[in-house]
Amino acid sequence: MINLGVLASGRGSNFQAIIDEIEQGKLKASIRILITDRPDAYAIERAKKHNIKHIYMNTKEFSSKDSYFEAIAENLFNEKVDLVILAGFMRIVGKPLIDAYPMKIMNIHPALLPSFTGLHGQKKALQYAVKITGCTVHFVDEGMDTGPVIIQSAVCAFHDDTEETLSNRILKMEHKIYPEAIRLFEQGRLEVQGRTVMIKDIPSRDYDYLINPPIQLTD
């Protein structure tokens, strides 16, 4: 059992997917706190529904980015959080939080990193007319979507896709691989060696399936 702290800025659909896995007994974790940087984030309503502690932290109340993330780290420490989960948190994580939780902060990005970093990964994929895109769970470092990759899932991009249809297809896979990455962490099966995240106790014949599940051809 591990304690999770979740940071979110919006609707928190990945937050909900993690809640569902916990409540169904598939993930041995407890969400100790939700921290938002927006008072209107719908993730707050999800937290209320599931009796999860939640706080809004206004960046304007802090003198600097560092002091803001120092305060976030303090709140997480107070709740004995083992792993920090970014669930649509629309800020680049500051160094004080990264230093407090080295290789213990996870993020999910709607593209196959290192392609299409930053905002609007789905739109960028369509503009580039790629045939395959997807999503990536990675550990967070000081760069933008540059941390070591944990799991990726491939999704086809069609010529008639819109940003919305592609985003919805990718989101379905996000909801599958994010809880899986947390489960691997909880089981003590992730080991970071430089840029490589080693997953322990996986037979070689199963490795490709875990890291890159079958391409999603349809909605």
Catalytic positions = 109
As a whole number of angstroms, the distance between CA 60 and CA 199 comes to 40
Nearest to 113 by CA among 143, 92, 93: 143
As a whole number of angstroms, the distance between CA 197 and CA 60 comes to 36
Strands 83-86 and 2-8, sheet pairing? parallel
Using CA atoms in the order 62, 145, 182, 42, what is the torsion angle rounded to 10 degrees? 50
Using CA atoms in the order 56, 62, 65, 69, what is the torsion angle rounded to 10 degrees? -50
Number of Cβ within a 10 Å radius of residue 136: 26
Structure tokens at 161: 């896709």
Residues 38, 56: contact at Cβ < 8 Å? Answer: yes
Residues 137, 111: contact at Cβ < 8 Å? Answer: no
As a whole number of angstroms, the distance between CA 200 and CA 189 comes to 5
